[in-house]
Structure 1
Amino acid sequence: MRKQSARNEAWPAGDIAWMAGILLLGLIVRLFRIDHQPFWLDEALTSQRIHLDLNGLIADSFTNRHMPTYFLLLQFISQFGSSDAWLRVPSALFGAMSTGVVFAMARRIGGRGAGMVAGLLMALSPLQVQYGQEARSYTLVTLLITIALWGLLRLAQNPARAALDIRHADSERWGWATYVFATIAALDVLGDAAPWLIASNLSLWLIWRGLWLESSPDLSVAFRRNWLLSIAVIIACCVPFYAAILVTSGGHMMQNFDWIPEMSLQHLWVVAGSVYLMRMTAVVKFDLLHTAVPMLGAVVALAGCAGLFRMRRRLEGQVLLLGVMVLPLLILAISLFKSMLLPRYILWSAAPFFVLVGLGAALLPRRALPVAMTALFLMGVVNLGPVYRVETKPRWDMAAATLAANVRPGDTVFTADPNAPTMLTVLQPKHGTPIEANALVTSQLDQAVARWKQGGRIWAVNGRSALGEREELAEFKNRMAALGAPAVEIPQGKEITILMFPAPDEPAPN
């Protein structure tokens, strides 16, 4: 029976302190200016859903192909605070905890240096920080799958113990329990975790195959028993929820994804650069934003290749590689028929990748490693700066405040984006007069024009609330040509413009 090294069993105080420091760093960078960006569409829908009653929340979640789990958590948390930032705090906490688990995995395999590099990358990844400041469940799923991967690596390091009956004193109970229960939790939070089942079971097959090739028929049979038991438990705990989604969605699990851009080489680069290479992406535009440290991505890629080369003959390395590759390859395969390629859909695969990067960086000479980690920390912090400065989400909060302050009874607010009325409702000032109290908000142009002909003003809002094609302002104005020239044009951030058209018999303001 293979034994673990001492570094895998007992953690010195120094390692615990470093992990705590990286976890704290991950929390600080996620909490810093957490309210800087306004809600975008997904977060606005989160806010609406958690204000439903219990039955309504569950029904709305299943109907929209979501698990209700995370929304129930936010509904509970909302009792202690109602601000938008407060709803984002759980994501920040889960994202920070992921940095600690990534540190623990890399340290277990490659020592303290590997853990520090991997943890720093997870803490300072712009994309991880962006989703750590969003009121959605992506960081929780990433955390849970990272915990499950930690359990899977324990099984890969101790195949003989993993094959023992879980009631046996020497059984790898922690590995099996961590893998099974974290996998169940991830699957019951978000369907994006489903590809983890493929990656993890391929890893378990590799462990079983290793026992079989080592001419250990009894151990291979015993391991297969534990493996099948894990599958049965996971299926029993998850199938009812997915069946509920299938029934309430009318069996159309893959519909309503037409807003995702078609796959292209540019889009592949956007996804790879943002998920793995420390780049920042806009939320409603499929594009990478300016990076403060261009060389950082190349350094990370090089260290990742070194880590993969170092671990190429080890079972743990194969498990990590499957954790990185299965998800994007599956999404790519699906995208050949229906485009599904988005950074957030492969977010959790960054965790095993950063572990490989840490293992590659740990190949540096001992004296060079502290210098390299210091440079990585400094580059990572500087590279993270634009996350707090650049507008990555449309300023519907500004648009809502402007309209709330200026509409009057009889006005109409026309929005080019059909989801914009939701944005205006959720993001309008909390203590002011609701926009709907004075004006009709609609995305139907004929309805807006009919009210204008009856003597009401039109406030036309051009802008998008989520990823998808945006109507250019010139085209939008052409579509509104029947109303004449706008009397007022008000930019609201980079993505939104408000045009005010006076009533037919109303003189234009000077």
Structure 2
Amino acid sequence: MIRNRLVPAVPALAALAAGLWGLTGPSFWRDEAVTAEVSRRSLGQILRLLPEVDAVHGLYYLLMHLVTGLLGSGEAALRLPSVLAGAVTAGCTAELGRRYGGARLGLAAGLLTAFSPFLTRYAQDARPYALVTAAAAVSTLLLVSALERGGRPRWAAYAASVVLLGLFNLFALLLLAAHAFPARPALRSWAAASGAALACLSPLVLLASTQRGTQLSWLARPGPQAVAEWPVLLAGNAWLVPPLAVLAVLGARRLPALRTAAVPWLLLPPAVLLAVSLISPVYTPRYVLFTAPAAALLVAAGLDALPAARAWAGTALLLAGTVPMHLQQHAVDNRADDLRRLRAIVERHARPGDGLLFRVSEQRTIMGAYPETFTGLDDLALERTGAEAGDLVGDLAGPAAFARRLAGADRVWVVSKRPDRASPAYPVDESRFLVLRESFGKVRGWRFKGGYLALYARE
């Protein structure tokens, strides 16, 4: 009994340690800046936001609002829920492995999950993807428990876990299609539980469908590179893909019950999203992060087919192969944006009363990462903040109001995606920038990962 308890506990603790290590190393990036800004809003402001945008992240924002109230909105505080979710994922994966193939398989699967670079990357991210993965692992474990022992309470718990899964990410409901395969012996009970969960989620599905354009407009149609990228992300390194694939196939052939549960879990969600994306883009790897535990289970089953010494040596070798990726992920500028660099430039060179202009309105959300940096600057184009307007970026002032504000400024900081000459055309923002250029000249520019910052002074 003690040994069985240690199977999920050891990987969970390992995942917790991996998540806490270097937690504040990388800078906040643009999506985390949105989390930080929204979590600081009042409860009423968050509830006002959700009908307009980001309804799919509503539960996550409410959770982070509580976290901010308790711990603040710094990097460690906002990333901590994802760290804890990573520990839950590793523990549940280990327990699933134990139930399907014994303690050794479970321990190996849990450790592979705990130290997966793909999973630890999002276990240190103030976004909901690690929580989605934890919900998927919990839901699968509850399904296995309901299939083993039956009973309405267990099926009700499974249904509740599916609701939680959908509240964190609607795309994760593709896991239900994968669950249909192991659930065949109790198909009627599974269908009733799944149907009840989907009925509870239907209002969110309807609301999210009205926001699809704003939520997914940034996605592009995937090509062959996107398909090839998926196994590399799961493995951690390109050279690890072949041995891991061989082990996964061996594990699937060796344990039919695990194959029935893990193979659909691993393959169905990304295949569906990639196929749909050929018509209307909906795929990005983090949307299917929740399938990674299935890969760990299959690889662990392959390792479990080897003699004990070779199995543990193989596990250690695979974990060692991911070390370079882990080290890379902890670099300050590893995220899509290095907003600490932006903060350092402004803190060093800005003066109280300087103006601020965003050439791309959506980029204004980056101020949520380190808001104290911009408190002394006047956002010349902003009429109402996002919190006041009930959206993420706020309302822009009209041309006359902008001109009046600009007349009172001697220096203006301009944030853009690229340096001036390579900047794309955004009519609303560019009109203000052109007004600025009539009487201001560029003094200096700085690149930061994710954008370009320039200082303009009145000529």
- Kindly state the Cα deviation for residue 101 of structure 1 after the two structures are TM-superposed: 0.7
The answer for the alignment partner of 1:466 in structure 2 is none
AA partner of residue 414 (structure 2): A
- Kindly state the Cα deviation for residue 387 of structure 1 after the two structures are TM-superposed: 1.0
Pick closer, same or farther for the CA change 1:181–1:18 going to 2, 3 Å: same
Q: Does 1:491 align with 2:423?
A: no
Q: Does 1:272 align with 2:231?
A: yes
Q: Does 1:434 align with 2:425?
A: no
Q: How far apart, in 2, do the equivalents of 1:308 and 1:269 lie?
A: 21
Q: TM-score, normalised by structure 2?
A: 0.83
Pick closer, same or farther for the CA change 1:15–1:385 going to 2, 3 Å: farther
AA partner of residue 197 (structure 2): I
AA partner of residue 496 (structure 1): G
Q: How far apart, in 1, do the equivalents of 2:457 and 2:41 lie?
A: 38
The answer for the alignment partner of 2:263 in structure 1 is 321
AA partner of residue 187 (structure 1): G
- Kindly state the Cα deviation for residue 358 of structure 1 after the two structures are TM-superposed: 0.8
The answer for the alignment partner of 2:176 in structure 1 is 197
The equivalent position to 2:244 in structure 1, one of 276, 300, 304, is 300
- Kindly state the Cα deviation for residue 388 of structure 1 after the two structures are TM-superposed: 0.9
Q: How far apart, in 1, do the equivalents of 2:397 and 2:205 lie?
A: 39
Q: Does 1:423 align with 2:366?
A: yes
Q: Does 1:239 align with 2:228?
A: no
**Structure 2: which 5+ residue stretches go unaligned?**
383-392
Q: Does 1:40 align with 2:29?
A: yes
The answer for the alignment partner of 2:89 in structure 1 is 98
The equivalent position to 1:26 in structure 2, one of 15, 38, 46, is 15
Q: How far apart, in 1, do the equivalents of 2:294 and 2:414 lie?
A: 47
The SS at the match of 2:308 is coil
Pick closer, same or farther for the CA change 1:489–1:433 going to 2, 3 Å: closer
The SS at the match of 1:301 is helix
- Kindly state the Cα deviation for residue 324 of structure 1 after the two structures are TM-superposed: 1.2
Decide which structure has the larger Cα Rg and report it: 1
Pick closer, same or farther for the CA change 1:53–1:390 going to 2, 3 Å: closer
The answer for the alignment partner of 1:461 in structure 2 is 415
Q: How far apart, in 1, do the equivalents of 2:84 and 2:194 lie?
A: 30
- Kindly state the Cα deviation for residue 145 of structure 1 after the two structures are TM-superposed: 1.2
**Structure 1: which 5+ residue stretches go unaligned?**
1-10, 168-172, 209-222, 280-293, 464-470, 505-510
Q: Identify the structure with bigger relative contact order (alpha carbons < 8 Å, sequence gap 6+).
A: 2
Q: For 1:86-165, list aligned pairs within 5 A.
A: 86-154=77-145, 158=148, 162=150
Q: How far apart, in 1, do the equivalents of 2:109 and 2:411 lie?
A: 57
Q: Does 1:403 align with 2:346?
A: yes
- Kindly state the Cα deviation for residue 67 of structure 1 after the two structures are TM-superposed: 4.6
Aligned pair count reads: 433
- Kindly state the Cα deviation for residue 272 of structure 1 after the two structures are TM-superposed: 3.4
- Kindly state the Cα deviation for residue 225 of structure 1 after the two structures are TM-superposed: 4.1
Q: How far apart, in 2, do the equivalents of 1:198 and 1:75 lie?
A: 32
RMSD: 3.2
The answer for the alignment partner of 1:500 in structure 2 is 455
Farther-moved stretch of structure 1 (347-356 vs 57-66): 57-66
Q: How far apart, in 2, do the equivalents of 1:38 and 1:445 lie?
A: 31
- Kindly state the Cα deviation for residue 303 of structure 1 after the two structures are TM-superposed: 1.4
Q: How far apart, in 2, do the equivalents of 1:154 and 1:381 lie?
A: 35
AA partner of residue 299 (structure 1): P
Pick closer, same or farther for the CA change 1:455–1:184 going to 2, 3 Å: closer
The equivalent position to 1:63 in structure 2, one of 32, 47, 52, is 52
- Kindly state the Cα deviation for residue 88 of structure 1 after the two structures are TM-superposed: 1.1
